[in-house]
Amino acid sequence: MPIYRLEAAQTLATGIETAWTFFSDPHNLALITPPEMRFQITGDPPTAVHPGLIITYRLTPLPILPLRVSWATEITQVDAPHFFADDQIAGPYALWRHEHHFQEVDGGVLATDQVHWSLPLDPLSAPLAQLAVIPQLLRTFRFRAAQLQVQFGSPTTIPPTLSIRPL
């Protein structure tokens, strides 16, 4: 089962407390998810993450396929206002661990996402990873970066970074 690592980073023109308040509120996920994924929280989570919080939602992970899936993640670690992690406990991936890092830097906050993921049914799913999942994840995180730029602005001309590579 190949494991991939996605890393996205951008500097936001805001303070760390404001960034934390935005990112740690599960309701804001819909604002930074592409509309074609039809993201919808199905539970009623609080407005701030905490260890043990389970967030449930439905979405279309690959808009090229008309398949809606249920997904559940658990917030496993929180170090406010610098870090939190969520792990998929039910959903389309064999592994999904998403870490959110926030660091104060000159002019704002460096927001970094690190996602370790793999697909089920390896090696049958390997072509799906290359043909659909990786391109969709890149589109999703590019959309996310653009929405965050609108939400917070950018203090520098350094563009967001985004990469996906196998481990």
This prediction has a pTM of 0.95
For the chain, give every domain's residue range. 4-166
CATH 3.40.718.10 fits 4-166, yes or no: no
Q: What is the pLDDT of residues 30-87, one digit of tens each?
A: 999 999 999 999 999 999 999 999 999 999 999 988 899 999 999 999 999 999 999 9
CA torsion, points 60, 66, 70, 76, in degrees to nearest 10?
-30
**What's the distance, CA 123 to chain centroid?**
25
Do the Cβ atoms of 12 and 19 come closer than 8 Å? yes
Q: With 80 as the cut, is the pLDDT of residue 158 above it?
A: no
Q: Quick one: which of 6, 73, 65 has its CA closest to 38?
A: 65
Q: What residues contact residue 43 under an 8 Å CB cut-off, 6+ apart?
A: 54, 55, 56, 57
pLDDT of residue 144: 97
pLDDT of residue 152: 95
